[in-house]
Structure 1
């Protein structure tokens, strides 16, 4: 039961429209008759939008694959998406292999102990399909997770491939990599990483393994478009299909591109056709007027220069409204901006509504989203905080209920 007047509205319409637009763009950038799969990334609680809300909507719109962070997230996704293929994108840990089998999850693997855990789990239970599908992560330059390529002696990748080839319990269904800078148009790092992926695919082909999927690319890859057909052709060399993994763009935000290409003023790719999915809202719970020189909030970092009307909002940094927005950010009241006055508290925030006539207790306030003809988006908050929109969205706390609308 949620009675506190703080909530996040999740637009079903916008989420589905974004997915369909991304799928259209993927198909637009490949040769006639070719196909590309679009995996919907719902990790990190669907980038703060609510995994349980977003996953079934995306599956219903045609997303056969969902990407989650962990086995725990995979279990939650399986509860609402019984037929989806669910990729666990951060590998597995001790004690998680049984859940992978039980809930029919597909893990990314790259460490030998991942194989040990999965093979040991199969000895304790029968596998309906005869083997566990796994996707092998290749580290082509991110230096984060994956089997490193190039591998000067070929020992590590060779050992993993041999294990997969010889194991009756494991089936190599996919091969993945993660580009470190896909938002840099014509970036040299991405070109090098693609070459490393090509090297890995040649090694996999030489081993006799034939994965069904090759996935390498995210929102930036999909929206930029020029990398899609070369990647598809690379996958086709071993009879595989290309899969792309958009995340941020599903929720209405294009990455900020740099380098050559057609860019909008704020650095996003022009014509992305995406719509923000989340609107974060609250209500005015108290009002007061202070005189010139009086302070507001902890340590009185805001001091009134005139008679000032202040509105109290029942949310703070424990809800994900960053303290870095203190005395810098604003909210929307009656379709106008109300500056944040003083330091954001754990559970409360004060805003200055002096120049907004008629504000009353109970009035709706928009923290993130549109009101009237004015909008505050995650780019704006990220710029004020010195971060990226991903963090703004993911930081919205679990205690803020996600409410599906339209």
Structure 2
């Protein structure tokens, strides 16, 4: 896999132009940076001046810690086990707290280390995953104010459960109002968080009222629109029929493992999924579902060879699959094969996978194994 530094820079510049003045950008690198690779993406983000990284676990935070640029803050938005709290505090890592009882353990660990914990209180506004309800949030505010020498009220946050969809506008509006009510309680108590944040990629791009002090941008970092609705709203805002202000930064390549001639009537691969209706030449590609290549692409998907599309013939195997090269001249063993990305004037998009396999963009990307080598290119 090749990761484009210039493509990432283009995306970050575009996102920053969308943000309100003074709003900080936090880039989300959960799920191995949406399949792109945490070590590579964190290194690349440091080169474009991103100084806040969001992750889903302590495991991911530890990896970011190794590759981040000095001065970059790390925030854990998801699971943090009890025995990792002390580690997070010791390494100055910010983390969500969505259960009131946990604050007591955080306090205990902060006192033990004689170091302040940086806590983001996640509140429930309608997504109903994690987040304190109003009753527990009030108790949490009292607790934080009483113990502010040991715990920093680093953030007040929530997650919008449908910001990418126009059909969910009523729900998003309700969530925004509920969040304002939590903020009002903070003002009433005269105890405000350092950072207010609720925006994901979708709301960061099209809802400036959600920007507050920081936005948490995931899929847009990598050049993907959160949804068609968000893209169309962007087009309306710039009065254009089409626009390409972001770039996909990932290209996934392999090469031809072998070339075979298949006589008419023979089957290709396992079972009877594909039978040659004429004499065929096929190329064998050393990639399979163990590499995250979806089996649903069997007899449907395409790869690029010499800039032309070659259709997959037969079932995707664990470690390889075959493609029809009958209409492509001058194909040789070892030639480059593009599985995802551009070759000459043709492109294989992630959507070509998701259309056939019913995988989300995020799902497809996050399944790509860490074992695949990833290289940063210009």
Q: Which range, TM-score by smaller chain?
A: over 0.9
Q: 1:263 to 1:184 in 2, by over 3 A?
A: farther
Q: What does residue 210 of structure 2 align with?
A: 231
CA contact (8 A) 1:328 1:339 kept: yes
**SS of the residue aligned with 2:83?**
coil
Structure 1 Cα separation of the partners of residues 271 and 145 of structure 2: 65
Alpha-carbon offset, residue 39 of structure 1: 0.8
RMSD: 1.9
Residue number in structure 2 paired with 1:96: 84
Q: Which deviates more, 181-190 or 347-356? A: 181-190
Tell whether the 8 Å contact from 1:135 to 1:172 is kept in structure 2 after alignment. yes
The match for 1:22 among 15, 29, 40 is 15
> Per-residue displacement from partner, 1:148-173 (whole Å, max 9, x unpaired)?
3xx4xxx2121222221212321111
**2:269 touches 2:314 (CA, 8 Å); kept in 1?**
yes
Aligned partner of 1:254 in structure 2 is 225
Identify the residue that residue 151 of structure 2 maps to in structure 1: 170
SS in 1 for 2:191: coil
Out of 325, 345, 354, the position equivalent to 2:317 is 345
Q: Give the Å deviation of 1:323.
A: 0.8
CA contact (8 A) 2:263 2:276 kept: yes
Give me the whole-angstrom Cα distance separating, in 1, the residues matched to 2:164 and 2:242: 13
Matched residue, 1:243: 214
1-structure distance, mates of 2:154, 2:242: 35
| Superposition map of 1:329-368 within 5 A | 329-368=301-340
Partner Cα separation in structure 2 for residue 125 and residue 173 of structure 1: 18
1:4 alignment counterpart = none
5 Å-filtered alignment, 1:2-81, equals 8-26=1-19, 30=20, 34-81=21-68
Q: Distance in 2 between matches of 1:42 and 1:78?
A: 12
User: What is the alpha-carbon distance in structure 1 between the residues aligned to residue 5 and residue 225 of structure 2?
Assistant: 18
Asked if structure 1 preserves the Cα contact closer than 8 Å seen for 2:203 and 2:210, the reply is no
2-side partners of 1:272 and 1:143: how far apart?
35
Partner of 2:117: 132
Paired positions, count: 371
The answer for unaligned runs of 5 or more in structure 2 is none
Distance 2:156 2:47 in 1: 26
What's the CA shift for 1:298?
Answer: 1.6
The reply to whether residue 123 of structure 1 matches residue 111 of structure 2 is yes
Report the more deviating stretch, 110-119 or 96-105: 110-119
TM-score with structure 2 setting the length: 0.93
SS of the counterpart of 1:245?
strand
Q: Deviations over 1:95-139 (max 9, x none)?
A: 111210232210011112432332222233231xxx211111112
- Cα distance in 2 for residues equivalent to 1:271 and 1:190: 26
Could you say which residue in structure 2 is the equivalent of 1:143? 128
Q: What is the SS of the residue equivalent to 2:347?
A: strand
Normalising to structure 1: TM-score of the pair?
0.87
Match of 1:216 among 195, 198, 201: 198
Which structure carries more helix by proportion?
A: 2
C-alpha distance in 2 between matches for 1:162 and 1:123? 18
In the alignment, structure 1 residue 369 sits paired with structure 2 residue 341: yes
Question: Tell me, which stretches of 5 or more residues in structure 1 are unaligned?
Answer: 1-7, 236-241
